[in-house]
Structure 1
Amino acid sequence: MCVGCKLSVADLALDPMAQHVTRAGKRINLTAKEFQLLATLMRRKGQVLSKTALAELVWGIHFDCDLNVVEAAIKRLRSKIDEDYPDKLLHTVRGMGYVLERREGGTV
C-alpha cells in the first residue's frame, strides 16, 4: 500500500502529503486526530473497524478502556464529512463498529 498516495471514497478525497481533505471539491478542515482517523478508515474502506481497533490504530490505546473517545471522534468526523451531503459515507454497523463506504441510496 502506498503511504503517501491520495485516498478517495466516492467524492471524498484525502491527500496525506498535503494533509488536506475535500468532499465534492470543498475543503474540509480536520484536527490532526480527525485526519488520522479518516485516513485509517479510508485505507480500510469497506472494512468494518471496531472501536477497539480504531483506538489501537489511531490513539495507540491497546486495551479496553473508555472507548467514548472513539465515539466522540466519529461523531465529530461524521458531522464534518457527511452532514452537508445527501450521500452518507461513514456508517455505524451495530454491535461491530464503523465502516467508510458508499452505499446505494446514500443512507446511513
Structure 2
Amino acid sequence: MKQTNILQTAVRNKITTTVAAVTVFFMAHPVWVQAQQQGGLNKAKTVLDTFKTQLNAIIPIAATIILLCLAVSYAGRFIEKTTFMRWAIGVIIAGSAAQITNMFFTP
C-alpha cells in the first residue's frame, strides 16, 4: 500500500515559508541587524577570537604529539605500515591546514 506524504509536504512548506519570511524581514530591516551586531555581539566576538588564537597554538602541538604516538606504536609493531602512513599523512595535512589558514587570515 502506498504511503502518503501529506504531513511531510505540509511541514516542508511551513519551514520554507518561515525561512522566506525571516529572509525578507532581514533584507527589509538591515538597521535592526546592525544594531544587534554593534551592541550585543562584542562579548561573543572576543570569546571567539580568543578561542581561535588558542586553537592556532594547540593544533600544531597536538599534531606533533599524535605523530609521536603513531611513530612509537609503529616502532612497537602495534600498527601496520599502511595504517601508520594513512594516519600520519592525515595528521600532517590537518596540522598544515591549520597553520596555512592561520597565516592567511591573521592580519
From the CA coordinates, give the structure whose radius of gyration is larger. Answer: 2
More helix by percentage: 2
TM-score, structure 2 as length reference: 0.26
